[in-house]
Chain A
Amino acid sequence: MEFLQNLFGFTWPVVWSLAKIVAIVGPLMIAVAYLTYAERKVIGYMQVRIGPNRVGFKGLLQPIADGLKLMMKEIIIPSGSNKFLFVLAPVLTIAPALAAWAVIPFTPELVLANVDAGLLYIMAITSMGVYGVIIAGWASNSKYAFLGSLRSAAQIVSYEIAMGFALVGVLMASQSLNLIDIVKGQAGGVFSWYWLPLFPMFIVYLIAGVAETNRAPFDVAEGESEIVAGFHVEYSGMAFAVFFLAEYANMILIATLVALMFLGGWNPLFDIAPFTWIPAFVWLMLKVGFVLFLFLWFRATFPRYRYDQIMRLGWKVFIPVTLIWLLFVGGMMQTRYGYLFH
């Protein structure tokens, strides 16, 4: 280590930060690739099929084959489109999806940037993901793409409000915006995790997370049966793949946030011997995997929502539910039962 430090001299902090970023983004990309594989397998078995099983052992090399195929394909830029924005849109979609990982802690010590206002940072960064969608729809110069982007943008903006209120609940319970402190506040078994005192918010956050990532049953943004594929209908090859990567990276991000804020992060299920032997990182990954499985399960189970139903759920159900629970938690904290909500 010291040798390397001397080698790079004053550029060492930059090099070291870059190395840490690669150490996060690399595994994340592999996770994204194998999440697509898991999705096809899980949904396959739910529909009594086998799923991909030709490339590699049990189809394990399928995501790599898919990636290679997409890289070989030509990126077609439609005539009459805004070329610069058309190319910029996928970048704007994936940048926030990756940047948010800067403040995500994996264990009590393992975090790229231990920021005090980590929760706010995540809210701010994820709220920028919608630009990629809007710009992609507009720059394509296509009616289907534009309709898809309008739907998606309205949906993301609506559900962000309910998500924000759910996070306020977490903030009240943990009295901190720092993600490590939030997890530390949930120490001590499954009944001290915040899903219990904040149960309505947990449910709202989970469902709003599905809607935020434009996943089924909230995938009207790309509704194949009505607007072909929505905002990315004109994209091909790697430009299309980048949208795909961003969607799955966002899924993993939301799943990680649910695990960190409501399911106790790296805290073991119970604070007794066999559970505490499992390392912290593995606990976190187990919980993330569980939430991701829910995402896939939803997609295999529910039919797509109609657009006005989505809007009604977001504005008339989720926002009132979170607001009332905020008042309830705030009120209870003033009584002698307040300790239950911390």
Chain B
Amino acid sequence: MNFETAVFYFFAAILLFAGLRVITARNPVHAALFLVLAFFTAAGLWLMLEAEFLAITLVLVYVGAVMVLFLFVVMMLDINLDKLREGFWDYLPLAGIVATLMVLEMVVVLGGKQFGLSAVPAPIAHAANYSNTKELGRLLYTDYVYPFELAAVILLVAIVAAIALTMRRRKHTKYQDPAQQVKIKRADRIRMVSMASEKAVSTEQISQPEK
């Protein structure tokens, strides 16, 4: 076993452990944090496959953004473990069927002749100056430019739709217009009043109300 294989098994063990803890951890916050660990370890494995761009993007997007928002939501939940575990036995048959289906699919993919180790050989190791990032960018913006742009537009529509759903003006909310605030001049707020000076009033006169 050379160094690379050892590193692979080390990462794979952490990934499996983290993945398992995601579904077994009692506390949802712990589960989410284990998912972060799983993503991070997966990124390490991708680095070993010379897919450094994908690995870094996985960390940047999923660990750095998606999971942060996910944690946000999970942390604000009022966690009641008893309630969470309530319907466990009711849902077990359905979950069992889904799990069996997934295992079967994995067997077809990993064990079949189409995708087995013999059908898909290991990728050729590239020289040190090979840039995975550059290759990926070239492919995305030349050969696959239409699917790529289409996906981008669909995502944009989804973003606009999500924002549109939350856009509602409540009647009693007060809004500020920063542009207006910046434009304010001294004359808009201050009025100079010239007053004739008044005669000083002694304190005794004030304290004694008129009879």
Chain B CB within 8 A of A340 CB:
no
Q: Name, among B29, B57, B69, the residue most crowded by chain A CB atoms within 10 Å (CB to CB).
A: B29
Residues of B within 8 A of A138 (CB): 29, 71, 75
Chain A CB within 8 A of B145 CB:
no
Residues of A within 8 A of B36 (CB): 131
Q: Mark B119-158, 1 if CB is under 8 A from A, else 0.
A: 0000000000001010000000000000000000000000
Whether A134 contacts B68 by the Cβ 8 Å rule is: yes
Q: Name, among B56, B64, B75, the residue most crowded by chain A CB atoms within 10 Å (CB to CB).
A: B64
Chain B CB within 8 A of A212 CB:
no
Chain B CB within 8 A of A23 CB:
no
A135 to B72, CA, bound (A): 10
Whether A134 contacts B65 by the Cβ 8 Å rule is: no
Q: Mark B43-74, 1 if CB is under 8 A from A, else 0.
A: 00000000011001101100111001101100
Cβ-closest chain A residue relative to B53: A117
Chain A CB within 8 A of B209 CB:
no
Chain B CB within 8 A of A47 CB:
no
Chain A CB within 8 A of B93 CB:
no
- Main secondary structure on chain A at its contact with chain B? helix
Whether B60 contacts A120 by the Cβ 8 Å rule is: yes
A131 to B37, CA, bound (A): 12
B43 to chain A, nearest CB (A): 8
Cβ-closest chain A residue relative to B55: A124
Interface residue tally for chain A (C-beta within 8 Å) = 24
A123 to chain B, nearest CB (A): 6
Task: Please report which residues of chain B, range 162-200, place their CB below 8 angstroms from some CB of chain A when the two chains form the complex.
Answer: 178
A268 to chain B, nearest CB (A): 30
A177 to B133, CA, bound (A): 9
Task: Please report which residues of chain A, range 101-125, place their CB below 8 angstroms from some CB of chain B when the two chains form the complex.
Answer: 116-117, 120-121, 123-125
A138 to B72, CA, bound (A): 10
B24 to chain A, nearest CB (A): 17
Query: Which 7 pairs of residues, A with B, have the shortest CB-CB distance?
Result: A127-B64, A124-B59, A124-B60, A120-B56, A124-B56, A138-B75, A117-B133
Which residues of A pack against B, CB within 8 Å?
85, 116-117, 120-121, 123-125, 127-128, 130-131, 134-135, 138, 146, 150, 153-154, 157, 160, 177, 309, 312
Which residues of B pack against A, CB within 8 Å?
29, 33, 36, 52-53, 56-57, 59-60, 63-65, 68-69, 71-72, 75, 131, 133, 178
Q: A85-B33, A117-B133 are in contact. List 19 more A-B contacts (CB 8 A).
A: A116-B131, A120-B53, A124-B56, A124-B59, A124-B63, A125-B59, A127-B59, A127-B60, A127-B63, A128-B64, A131-B36, A131-B68, A134-B68, A134-B72, A134-B75, A150-B72, A153-B68, A157-B68, A177-B133
